[in-house]
Chains A and B, each alone.
Chain A
Amino acid sequence: KDQVFQPSTVASSEGAVVEIFCNHSVSNAYNFFWYLHFPGCAPRLLVKGSKPSQQGRYNMTYERFSSSLLILQVREADAAVYYCACMGSSNTGKLIFGQGTTLQVKP
């Protein structure tokens, strides 16, 4: 079954680098997508791709079946839910999401 796995919760301290890990069992998936979601708002794409990439404070690592999102200099305002997703075969645009990781930031 096509699935994406990520931890339910990650805790960090302000100013640190936090890593959220993700792996998948999605057939023919080569791209990872990382979304940020604040309750009441639309999930927003942070970074995506099939190779390591960076967008501002967000770094994405890449392996064939796993990826990590690294957030540099974590702030209290980064406390939210982070979703990892993969696109399956045929490039249909269909994303399979993980359960979401709630980031807790301690001052």
Chain B
Amino acid sequence: DAGVIQSPRHEVTEMGQEVTLRCKPISGHDYLFWYRQTMMRGLELLIYFNNNVPIDDSGMPEDRFSAKMPNASFSTLKIQPSEPRDSAVYFCASSFSGQGISPLHFGNGTRLTVT
């Protein structure tokens, strides 16, 4: 089991540029979550999918943020245009609903720095 795979591990970009973060969930998992981690707010849920369909995007901070899940093995989180306040660690996580109360399995995260 390779776990949840995120890329890139680190991203440094200039304000105004487009940023795309990628995630491959654990095979067979039907839920996928995007979280943002900051010192002030901890882990904030941005959006989550069930069977590739977005269920709740109420945590997406602004229209500059968008997420897609074109198939069961891939998701992207895009920020366009990026701003310095978007600097944070972004985590992707997946889970399987067929096991009752299933915990989330996290990737190693993408550390985004916007200058």
Contact = CB atoms under 8 A, between A and B. Distances in A.
A99 interface: yes
A43 B42 contact: no
Contacts, number: 63
Given A40-B108, A42-B107, A83-B42, A93 B31 contact: yes
Interface residues of B, number: 27
A1 to B, nearest CB: 12
Given A42-B108, A43-B91, A92-B55, A97 B101 contact: no
B42 A94 contact: no
B67 to A, nearest CB: 15
**7 smallest beta-carbon distances between A and B, as pairs:** A99-B42, A97-B43, A42-B106, A100-B42, A93-B31, A45-B103, A93-B95
Interface of A: 31, 33, 35, 40-45, 48-50, 83, 85, 87, 91-100
